Structures are given as structure tokens and as C-alpha cells.
Structure 1
Amino acid sequence: MLGLAALVVATVAVYLALRSSALETSGVGSLLPHQVLAATLVGPDQATFAGLQRELIEIERARAAFGRWPDAAEVGRASAYTWTNAREGYFVNYLARPAGDLSAAGWLLVIQEPDPQAPPDLSPNDETHHRLPDGTVLHVSIWTHRFGAQIEPRFVRQPEGAGWTQVLTAPVAPVPVRR
């Protein structure tokens, strides 16, 4: 029995070592446990993710043009989702719950505006940092959750702690520590 336990422990150790090593060429090894690459999603979810990326840009355009975040009724009008939005402090959530298919994934757009008292954010534009025309840097992310129709329509500050999975097109490079 002790030999079997040692074999299981050794197998798990080898698996973890290989999974986190440079032997993995897909880049998935640098993802956090709550992150997945869009390319690994099933086809319909990949298409939904691509549509949400475009929707996020439209939401940002509306914010830049009118100085406020659009209401949920103005978002995703042509989709198979019911949209709600919530705001808390500098965070805005747009939640897309499936309107018909109870087993379909739910989607969450999280947008964080900067604190006006904070120094300017020098992050380069990338998948998680978008810049409004006035120079305001937004921290943005797209999340998915299985069985989206069962999700409560409420504000989510930390999606990773509430069972959500962040979807990325590529692993996010680590941010260097500034001294």
C-alpha cells in the first residue's frame, strides 16, 4: 500500500514539473489556474468570445463619447443573451446570461477605471489594458462561467474567486516590479 502511495505522489510530481516547464510550447504553462486561452474553447464559445471583444470596444467607444458607461439595454442587442450591468467604485460589470439555453455559458466583462488620485498608468495597450482617446487606461477582462443561466445577476469584484474563468487570446506577460 505504501508503494502505491509513493507511485501516485511521484506521478503527480512529474506531471506538475512537466506542466510548468519550458517543455510546454503552447504558452498555457504561464496561465494562472483561473485562466484559459480562447483557442482551447469549443467553437461556439470561441465565436462568442470574439463577439464580446468587439462589444467591449463598442462599450468603450460609448464611454469615451458620452462620458458614462452605457446601460445594459444598449449592449449586445443582437445576441442570445440577457444583459445586466452593475457598478461599484471604479469597477463596472456587464453580465451576459443565456436567454434560452440553460446549459450555455455565461459571460462577464469587467472594466476597471483608474483612481483619479493615482499616478498615470503607463501600461502599454494590450489585451487587458485599453486606452480611451483622452489617455485614460482601463483594465479590462472577459470571463466565462458554465451554466450561465444559473448565475445571480450581481456585481462581481473578483471573478476568479466566484468560479469564473478568464479567457485570453494569449498568456499575459508578467508586469515588472517598479522600484
Structure 2
Amino acid sequence: MVLAGPTAVGKGTVADYVREHHPEVWLSVSATTRRPRPGEVEGQHYHFVDDVEFDRLLAQEDLLEWAVVHGRARYGTPRRPVELALEQGRPALLEIDLQGARQVREAMPEALFVFLEPPSWEVLVDRLVGRGTESPEEREVRLATARTELACVDEFDRSIVNDDVARAAEELVHLMVDPSHQKEA
């Protein structure tokens, strides 16, 4: 399953809930060239790498998808851990951005693509401002990206409104384990 949505919608928070409450679900850990935010743990939230290491991963085709996000840092999904989880028959969750979701759709069209939506634009803005991890300039870049991303919800098989983290995460897990509810007609 691929989970995508705009910046500050709570993708990481929903994924953290799934990690804590559903150990049967394997969560992909993306590589990124951005610096860690306060509280982020190497290997749990991201693999923090420098540009040289990211270039090596690209050259060796070790990334299932990758993108430059918000015109700054690069993010990518290491390929082999995803393949191993699927080979083991585990429910697998990739929490990625819109660009990455499009690349995964090309590589793995059988995946279920879920878009995480905010309850409203105002809530999304409040979440971004409230986390206090970006400068005013960075917030404006992220909000401009979010406007574009919100317009792409129709590219996804399903959408979930993140009005309550636990509810949204449980709905996501339910979609993963109950194939009869996966793809909408």
C-alpha cells in the first residue's frame, strides 16, 4: 500500500500509529538528504544520508522511487526491503510523496494507492505552522506544493480524511488486510 498526501497532512503521524499498534504491518523507511527534525530517529523515521550516498543508491538502482521534494531535499524508497517484505507476505506500507507514488504506480501497478486528506485547508495550514519546524519561506513553498498535491486526489484508489489519527490509521490498516474493500470501482 502506498500512502501519500500533502505536506503536514499527518502521513508520518498516521504511519507512527500503525507502527505502534500494528506490528504485523511492515513500514518502509525512506532515505532522505534533509536534516533530521527534532525527535526523528535514524532508521525509524528516515535513513538520513548525504548527497554522495543518495547518488550511489541511484546509480545502483537501489531505489524503487525517488524525488526532489519542495525543491530542496531528495527522498527515496530503498527497493530491496520492500521486495523482501512482499516476498514474506507481510502487509507493506510506503509513506511517500505524490511524485514517488506516481513512480511506484509505474513499477507496481498492483499496489493500493491511498491519499491522506486534511479535514480542511485551514487545518492543514494550522498543522504546518503549529509544528514550527520550517521557516516562513519554507512554509510558503510547502503550502504551494500542498495546493498542487490536493488537486491530485483522483489519481488514487482511495482517500482517507485525517480528522483523527487513530481512526485514519485503523481505516488504512483495514484496507490493507481486507482485500474486498481495497479498490473502488
Shorter-chain TM-score above 0.5: no
Tell me which of the two structures has the higher relative contact order, counting C-alpha pairs closer than 8 angstroms and 6 or more residues apart: 2
- Higher strand fraction: Structure 1 or Structure 2? 1
Q: Which one has a larger percent helix, Structure 1 or Structure 2?
A: 2
TM norm structure 2: 0.28
Report which of the two structures shows the higher radius of gyration computed on alpha carbons: 1
